[in-house]
Every structure is written in C-alpha cells, then in structure tokens.
Amino acid sequence: MDPVLPLAGRCVLVTGGAKRLGAAIGRRLHAAGADVVVHYHRSAGPAQALAAELEGVRPGSALAITADLRDVEQLPSLVEAALGRYRRLDVLVNNASTFYPTPVGTITAAQFDDLVGTNLRAPLFLSQAAAPALRRTSGLILNMVDVHALRPLREHPAYCAAKAGLAMLTRSLARELGPEIRVNGIAPGPVLWPERDLDPQLKREIVAKTALERVGSPEDIARTAYFFAAEAPYVTGQILAVDGGRSL
C-alpha cells in the first residue's frame, strides 16, 4: 500500500454522499486513495457533480448511485453497485439522515417512520447487506450518530430516539460482526447548521454552550472518518464526539 495514499485500492460507500458532511467525507477518503461510491436520493445534480470532480482527479475512482434508503428492498443494490464496479467494499459510511422537529402532540406516524427509517433502520439493513463483502476485506462500518443521541434536543424526540438507537446499533454490530469487521461512530456537534432557517439567537446560544465557543467544520468530521478508516485498526465499538465540547 502506498504510504502517501493509505486507502489506495479500497472502496468506500457513503450514503447521503452528495452534499454537506457526506461530500466532505467522500472527498477526504478519496484524497487518501479510495474509490468512492456516492449514494444519493434526491440530490442527483450534486451527486453527479461530485462524482465528476473525483473522476477528474483520478479516472475510474467514483460512482454515483441513487436509492431510497427507507425502502429496505433497495439497499442491497448499493452494495451490488460497489462490487460490480470495484469488486470489493472496504468502508460503509452510514451518513444519510433526515432531521426536523417533531414536537410532542404533533408527531405523525409518517414522520416517525421517516426519521427512524433513515437514521436507524437503513443503517441496520444496509450494514447487514454489506457485511459479507466487508468480512472479505476486514472492513469498517462508520455510523454518523449525533451528540443528541445522549443529550435530548428540544422538540426533536423522534430524531433523538432514532439516533440513540443508532448509537446502540453501533456497539451491537461491533460485537456481532467482530473480529472481521470494525464498527464505529462519529457524533458531530455544531458543525453545520440545518439547511432550514435557524434563528440567529439560537445559533449564538448553541455556540456559547460549546466549550470551544465556535462552530466546527465538515473537515473536522472528514478527518475523523479518515482516522477510523486508515489509522485505527484496533478500535471498534466506539463513538467519538466531534463537537467542540458541546456534550460536556
């Protein structure tokens, strides 16, 4: 393995990989030599643009593929696409997520199914589909959890419950899939604000309650993903908070 490109010859699948944190992770692991499968649902334009960008750096090194992660029947196709193109799968990043408020008294079954479906059910069933391929490569499953898996966020009980389930799933899969597969998680804090408008005063309050008193960046998360993928062969079942001390 090229020490300059420690992930050369390896294949990474990133769900929700077209934008935001998913795109940052894909770019960072690609820069380390990995081939990247960019999953998207509705973000076809950004996904195709990212794949083209990565292909421009290293031809044949990126693929964009669509699937609705809430449909469990579609999940094996993502693994099949990676294997069909690259003949292997080394890292699965369960990054895709839905996030919006569900105040008690307004929660609908559809909202609950959506939030649990993307944040918990999809990571479980996609990990299950990917496990045979990951066993062959002594691979890694990396779940994007949230500091609010342990510290509830007001008006987001369904989302927080789903992420809490993902935190336990991370540890459970580490137990179930070892010794061949490592399973770890990243719990971001205030790194990117939600795409919907957020009250400026609320932003200031969040930053003030963060030990480092500043917002992080997608690159902070991407570097952590790189650590787990390339520099942590003896780490499994761990969830690393990358939150500037927000969870303290």
How do residues 200-226 score in pLDDT, each as one tens digit? 888 888 899 999 999 999 999 999 999
Q: Give domain status of residue 91, yes or no.
A: yes
What is the model's pLDDT at position 197? Answer: 67
CATH number where 65 lies? 3.40.50.720
Q: Give domain status of residue 37, yes or no.
A: yes
Q: Give domain status of residue 179, yes or no.
A: yes
pLDDT, mean over the chain = 96
Q: Give domain status of residue 27, yes or no.
A: yes
**Which of 40, 159, 226, 234 is flagged as catalytic?**
159
Q: Give domain status of residue 25, yes or no.
A: yes
Q: Give domain status of residue 154, yes or no.
A: yes
Q: Give domain status of residue 3, yes or no.
A: no
pLDDT per residue over 138-194, tens digit each?
A: 999 999 999 999 999 999 999 999 999 999 999 999 999 999 999 999 999 999 887
Sorted by sequence, the CB contacts under 8 Å of residue 115 that are 6+ apart come out as 98, 99, 100, 102, 158, 159, 162
Q: Give domain status of residue 2, yes or no.
A: no
86 in active site: no
Q: Which amino acid is at 178?
A: G
Range of the domain at 236: 11-242
What is the model's pLDDT at position 3? Answer: 64
When pLDDT is averaged across residues 60-83 and rounded to a whole number, the result is 98
Total domains in the chain come to 1
CA atoms in the 13 A half-sphere facing the CB of 81: 22
Question: pTM of the entire structure?
Answer: 0.96
Residue 1 has pLDDT above 60, yes or no: no
